[in-house]
Structure 1
């Protein structure tokens, strides 16, 4: 086999190895997490104020980067305990009062695979014996904003894999150009 054919074979092998590395590294990114169920449920009208907010996701959560925030109709934060994570479920205990009104649950979680997921949904408390809802204030910065957490480890692996493929391909091409041709 001629040296140029051997070099071409090596180049193809390196290229295929690089592509395989990228595909394998990117595979977890396809398994996006998402909210499976929530209690209270999206758009629910409750006759009693909930004592906890429980969110169940499709994949395991990273407890370090799980944020769940509850706000009232005036966008003020309602007092809750820190989130507790068990597998794919995150929850907070409501420690502040919930008079009648509309509330928003906002969440930002990071899956065990590094994929961040965020969202929000409303629910309403309509307790016939409960106090009235707080009066709305002029719009301002939303307390429902959830601080971002680190994620995207898969993206870092993908970028690193791409760099390795490019460097290997460049090395093979450089070597191929330097080798004598018959």
Structure 2
């Protein structure tokens, strides 16, 4: 009888991250070659953004996202140095709602060469550093962390369940009286 009093929940149309590689909060013994994200729903390649940044919030050079169904992959242009990295993503749900989120992983490669530190005897002669080429500039889409959407939905569902339980209790109590 209580099920009659509980209103039907709206269809869940928002996309969400189902699986990530590297995993959330993972500590890796070697640099990953890619970030692979699998979502609950098919992705629109035009509206799929994945950005990786280091602990200094500097964007790490990656390929453009390659989308295959509900999975998107970006590959790194080179190995990552030891440190904490943030993966930020932005995708669009089937209802057109933008879903954003982020997570961190750590690279802790014990065989990585530590950056050299000058010793007191080191030569102070100037050295020439060859300019490095960077990937062509690409218009970036804004990627911000917004994990509050699932929290709000959870609170709303909890309130609806609590109200339905109280209404059911009062209904049963009233029938017995």
Q: Fold-level match, TM-score > 0.5?
A: yes
Counterpart CA distance in 1 for 2:89 and 2:20 is 11
Higher relative contact order by CA 8 Å / sep ≥ 6: 1 or 2?
Answer: 1
Find out whether 1:75 has 2:70 as its counterpart. Answer: no
State how many pairs are aligned.
Answer: 111
Identify the residue that residue 122 of structure 1 maps to in structure 2.
Answer: 104
Q: Which runs of 4+ in 1 moved over 4 A?
A: none
Quote the offset at 1:132 in angstroms.
4.4
Which of 139, 147, 150 is the matching residue for 2:142? 147
Task: Please name the residue that 1:87 is paired with.
Answer: 69
Q: Which one has a larger percent helix, Structure 1 or Structure 2?
A: 1
Check if 1:98 corresponds to 2:80: yes
**Change beyond 3 A, Cα 1:110–1:132:** farther
Gaps of 5+ in 2: 1-8, 116-139, 144-177
Q: C-alpha separation between the residues in 1 aligned to 2:99 and 2:13? A: 12
Unaligned segments of structure 1, at least 5 residues: 1-26, 134-144, 149-182
How far apart are the structure 1 equivalents of 2:57 and 2:98? Answer: 24
In our comparison, the structure showing a higher alpha carbon Rg is 1
- Cα drift, residue 44 of structure 1: 0.1
* Conserved? CA contact 2:53–2:59, under 8 Å: yes
Closer, same or farther: CA 102–63 of 1 in aligned 2, 3 Å: same
For the residues of structure 1 that align with 2:114 and 2:70, how far apart are their CA atoms? 35
Q: Is residue 47–residue 126 contact of structure 1 (8 Å, CA) maintained in 2?
A: yes
Q: Distance in 2 between matches of 1:74 and 1:131?
A: 20
